[in-house]
């Protein structure tokens, strides 16, 4: 049984799907090429002497001051300077240009425009010469961790900023790319008037040639994954109401530790399942395919993540059977 579209309470704006979408090949830079930029990154971050260890997920180069991981599956790079913030006794940080902003009644500490600009520029100065920013970067932002101290009974005593994250996000063919592989991040602590970067995570995979894949209309695209989501189906069949609060048509970039050679279209969904026979009300976030496996096969594109949901959230009939 599948969820009926008219049983969903859709509170999000429905995306418009084009008749076809370019599916890009994703490239893994050769290890030799990556070794050079990893070595330069280690020098720039002054990590000192690093010793290499080959692990299943990547090559880890570690020393007393920090470590760098080069992920085998994607070519992604994670680097850490473990000395940054070492003397701090709690999470609070004092940033120059720190301000408080309020959006939809939610108060957050943030950097003012000038301080954000400076921090983003400093991050780019570190990342760009090392080739750690994809050319498809479409937005950049500096965001502060939100920190609070509470008393023994849970009453808030203080609120402030923590570490900053400079986020670079990606757009391809006018579509946002989402997921764990769709970002370059730099984590910073304040250090006088400047910032000191304690972490770098570049998960973006370079793009290769593209192939057009036909898309169904939205109602059918929802049927590829969302309406046949076995867990949501179980709740729907038991009488729980499902409210959709976010529904976006995006490209999905998988985590750095997974092999992905096609940047494929997906539906990014958030919602709330009401309380009912099967239990409490809960929120959920899901990625589901927007094109069926047949559409990829027609374009001669194949891959396990094109056949089933990358986390296996597919009806039993769609899952490969072995034996």
Total of residues contacting other proteins (CB under 8 A): 71
Is residue 22 within 8 A of residue 175, CB to CB? The reply is no
Closest distance of CB 127 from other proteins, Å? 15
Q: Can you tell me whether residue 142 is helix, strand or coil?
A: strand
183 contributes a contact to other proteins by CB under 8 A:
yes
Applying CB under 8 A, which part among 122-130, 161-169, 205-213, 214-222 lies near other proteins? Answer: 161-169
> Scanning residues 237 to 276, which ones bind other proteins (CB under 8 A)?
252, 254-258, 266, 270, 273
The phi-psi region of residue 120 (left if phi > 0; otherwise alpha if psi is between -120 and 50; otherwise beta) is: alpha
Contact residue for other proteins among 13, 156, 317, 322 (CB under 8 A): 156
Closest distance of CB 91 from other proteins, Å? 5
Sign of CA dihedral 310, 316, 320, 322: positive
Is residue 202 within 8 A of residue 131, CB to CB? The reply is no
Element (H, E) at 242: strand 242-252
> What single-letter DSSP state applies at residue 18?
P
Element (H, E) at 190: strand 183-191
Closest distance of CB 105 from other proteins, Å? 7
Closest distance of CB 7 from other proteins, Å? 19
Nearer to other proteins by Cβ, of 102 and 321: the residue is 102
241-263 burial, b if ≥16 CB within 10 A, otherwise e? ebbbeebbbbbbbbebbbebbbb
Angstrom distance (rounded) from CA 230 to CA 228: 6
Applying CB under 8 A, which part among 12-20, 35-43, 156-164, 214-222 lies near other proteins? Answer: 156-164
Is residue 200 within 8 A of residue 78, CB to CB? The reply is yes
Could you give the string, one character per residue 11-30, with x where binding to other proteins holds by CB under 8 A and - elsewhere?
A: --------------------
Q: Token digits for 82? A: 């473990």
Closest distance of CB 123 from other proteins, Å? 14
Contact residue for other proteins among 35, 40, 44, 167 (CB under 8 A): 167
Angstrom distance (rounded) from CA 165 to CA 162: 10
> Scanning residues 84 to 123, which ones bind other proteins (CB under 8 A)?
88-91, 105-107
> Scanning residues 199 to 228, which ones bind other proteins (CB under 8 A)?
201, 225
Angstrom distance (rounded) from CA 265 to CA 19: 12
147 contributes a contact to other proteins by CB under 8 A:
yes
Contact residue for other proteins among 53, 113, 121, 298 (CB under 8 A): 53
Is residue 173 within 8 A of residue 249, CB to CB? The reply is no
Nearer to other proteins by Cβ, of 126 and 256: the residue is 256
292 contributes a contact to other proteins by CB under 8 A:
no
Closest distance of CB 277 from other proteins, Å? 12
Contact residue for other proteins among 155, 209, 277, 300 (CB under 8 A): 155
Is residue 237 within 8 A of residue 227, CB to CB? The reply is no
Closest distance of CB 129 from other proteins, Å? 23
């Amino acid at each position: 049984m599948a969820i009926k579209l008219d049983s969903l309470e859709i509170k999000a704006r429905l995306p418009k799907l084009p008749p076809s979408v370019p599916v890009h090949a994703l490239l893994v830079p050769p290890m030799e090429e990556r070794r050079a930029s990893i070595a330069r990154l280690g020098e720039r971050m002054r990590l000192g002497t690093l010793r290499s260890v080959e692990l299943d997920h990547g090559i880890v180069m570690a020393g007393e001051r920090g470590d760098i991981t080069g992920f085998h599956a994607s070519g992604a790079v994670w680097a850490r300077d473990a000395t940054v913030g070492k003397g701090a006794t709690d999470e609070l940080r004092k940033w120059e240009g720190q301000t408080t902003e309020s959006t939809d009644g939610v108060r957050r500490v943030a950097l003012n425009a000038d301080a954000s600009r400076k921090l983003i520029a400093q991050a780019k100065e570190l990342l760009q010469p090392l080739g750690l920013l994809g050319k498809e970067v479409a937005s950049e932002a500096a965001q502060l961790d939100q920190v609070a101290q509470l008393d023994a009974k849970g009453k808030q005593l203080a609120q402030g900023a923590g570490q900053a994250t400079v986020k670079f996000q990606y757009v391809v063919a006018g579509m946002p790319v989402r997921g764990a592989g769709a970002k370059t991040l730099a984590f910073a602590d304040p250090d006088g008037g400047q910032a000191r970067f304690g972490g770098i995570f570049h998960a973006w995979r370079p793009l290769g040639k593209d192939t057009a894949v036909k898309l169904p209309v939205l109602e059918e695209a929802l049927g590829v994954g969302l309406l046949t989501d076995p867990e949501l189906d179980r709740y729907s069949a038991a009488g729980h109401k499902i409210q959709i609060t976010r529904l976006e048509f995006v490209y999905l970039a998988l985590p750095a530790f997974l092999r992905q050679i096609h940047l494929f279209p997906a539906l990014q969904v958030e919602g709330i399942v009401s309380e009912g026979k099967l239990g409490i009300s809960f929120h959920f976030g899901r990625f589901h395919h927007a094109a069926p496996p047949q559409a990829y096969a027609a374009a001669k594109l194949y891959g396990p993540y094109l056949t089933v949901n990358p986390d296996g959230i597919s009806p039993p009939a769609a899952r490969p059977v072995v034996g």
